[in-house]
Amino acid sequence: MRKLIFFLLVSWISIVQGFTQRTDAAAGQLDSYPAPTPLASFKWKIYNPLSESSRYAIITHFISNNYSVVVPQKIQNIKVTNIDRNAFFRCGETSQIVFPETLNDIGSSAFNRCYQLRRIVIPNGVSIIRESTFFNCSNLKEVILPDTINNIKEYAFSECKNLSHIIIPKEVREIESYAFSKCENLKTVKFLGDAPINVPNVFKGSQPILYRAKDSTGWEKLWSGRSVLLKSEKIKN
């Protein structure tokens, strides 16, 4: 009788442990990346499908009207690395988009006139914000750029009227004219690195205060027509 009770007890413990491990594993998968939006919401292309080392997938169009979109990490077990130009153009009611870490390029005007978009986190690996990528995303309030960004093209964030603050990563060496034009509520721009190439009209129609890092170099008194302050400096009336 004791042997039977012992056997049943050991079996029960094993079942509980197994269930716990499976639950923990499932939780880990959910924590690592949220469930992607169904593939029926996208059009895509696979490039170099026969080459395991160089094949990749591109999102070419978003054809749904989801409030929240999670771009898939893989399509047919092939990494999604690109979002094509105009892929989400006028993306209706979409206010939140989650990008996979596999992403390394976002095409020009990809999110042009996505009026309800509110927050964007660009993943590490993307190096360029292309022309008009977020043009006239009028409700966009927060943009987080990764350390890998080195270039912000013209009109990239133009007419993002609710954008109030942005941090420019250390490796950015060029911000083209009109990149932040007509951002009426842009209050502060903080540069973490050395001065990018000084070009005119980056902030045309905007009036942000520019701050530079203490140990950064190459700064002139004005950058793109705006005064540049150290973080510790106060604004002079």
18 and 116 housed in the same domain = no
100 and 1 housed in the same domain = no
- The residue segments making up the domain with residue 24 are 1-32
Contact between 115 and 91 under an 8 Å Cβ cutoff? The reply is no
235 domain residue, yes or no: no
* Tens of each residue's pLDDT in the chain, 237 residues: 554 444 444 444 443 344 333 333 333 333 478 999 999 999 999 999 999 899 999 999 999 989 999 999 999 999 999 999 999 999 989 999 999 999 999 999 999 999 999 999 999 999 999 999 999 999 999 999 999 999 999 999 999 999 999 999 999 999 999 999 999 999 999 999 999 999 999 999 999 999 999 999 999 999 999 999 997 665 454
Structure tokens at 74: 């893989």
236 domain residue, yes or no: no
24 and 55 housed in the same domain = no
Contact between 72 and 80 under an 8 Å Cβ cutoff? The reply is yes
pTM of the predicted model, to two decimals? 0.84
107 and 204 housed in the same domain = yes
58 domain residue, yes or no: yes
28 and 52 housed in the same domain = no
User: How is 168-198 classified by DSSP, letter by letter?
Assistant: E-TT--EE-TTTTTT-TT--EEEE-SSPPP-
Which run of H or of E encompasses 3?
Answer: helix 2-32
